[in-house]
Amino acid sequence: MEMEHRTSHNPCLPKRIILVRHGESQGNLDDTAYTTTPDSQIPLTTHGIDQARLSGQRICRLVSDDGCSQNWKVYFYVSPYHRTRSTLREIGRAFPKNRIIGVREECRIREQDFGNFQVEERMRAIKVARERFGRFFFRFPDGESAADVFDRLSSFLESLWRDIDMKRLLRHSECDDEINLIIVSHGLTLRVFLMKWFKWTVDQFEHLNNPDNCEFLVIQLGCGGEYSLAINHSEEELLRLGLSPEMIADQKWRAKANKGDWNENCFWYLDGFFDHLPSSDSDDISENNVTHDQDAEKENNVPVDASAEY
């Protein structure tokens, strides 16, 4: 069940959900690292540690409104991988302990599983095949597809909204506190998260790009109750992420829309699945009558084949 249907009764919605990609890792610099080190144990580089500290400072300034907000709190979710845990550790240096509601290691937001130890030449050939097959449905041998990641993220989101509905994330906080959920994860996992959250199609996912290392994406609650990327991100940033002009227009609409409103210009919610839909029952009847009349006229005007008489 999606957010807008589940939480109309719940005043304790998070103000922001902030998606953070881990800092630069040894695997980002050198693909051969995966041949000898399990993916889950790949460490950050020195630069990646610096990126994470800077990212923490920037996130803290955002959620505290540069120190102007007095009632903000954060709750962290983190992938169990070494590079995400290390990223969180450095991000956390920017936050006073009294502002942190809690933290949870969450296996369902881990990296896409590419198999076990990765042989460099074999992986290069497999990734070429993935581009031909399509990034969403291609499953790595002994690993996962992005579709598999989608399934476990769907389960995670169900748990997330159950925690919100039951106020498990509040702890000693009040509903009038500004709650910020910060999810420290991986590039593809965050792209799939966005796809699931905003109901994007597989084709739209195929055009998305990873955020940079330690770049963060802010999904913020708009004035009308819908969540949007457009509140904190410019059109240029969203284009770089891979959103189409139509997807960006929908994000801008969401920033001001009332919860439960329907965006008539959002073709992938309805019109993208059909060649033509009548706008009402009466239009459907009229169209059928026109079609019937045209068929009848054709039958009445069919020339008679004289040879048919014999």
Q: Is residue 111 flagged as an active site residue?
A: yes
Q: What's the rounded Cα separation, in Å, for the pair 106 and 190?
A: 14
Phi, psi (deg, nearest 5) at residue 75: -130, 130
The one catalytic residue in 24, 90, 106, 111 is 111
Q: Is residue 106 flagged as an active site residue?
A: no
Three-point CA angle 227, 19, 66, nearest 5°: 80
Q: What's the rounded Cα separation, in Å, for the pair 127 and 114?
A: 10
Q: What's the rounded Cα separation, in Å, for the pair 150 and 147?
A: 5
Residue listed under structure tokens 């769907």: 154
SS (H, E, C) 87-153: HHHHHHHHCCHHHEEEEEECHHHCCCCCCCCCCHHHHHHHHHHHHHHCCCCCCCCCCCCHHHHHHHH
Taking residue 173's Cβ as centre, other Cβ atoms within 10 Å add up to: 17
Residue listed under structure tokens 């120190």: 67
Residues serving a catalytic function are: 22, 111
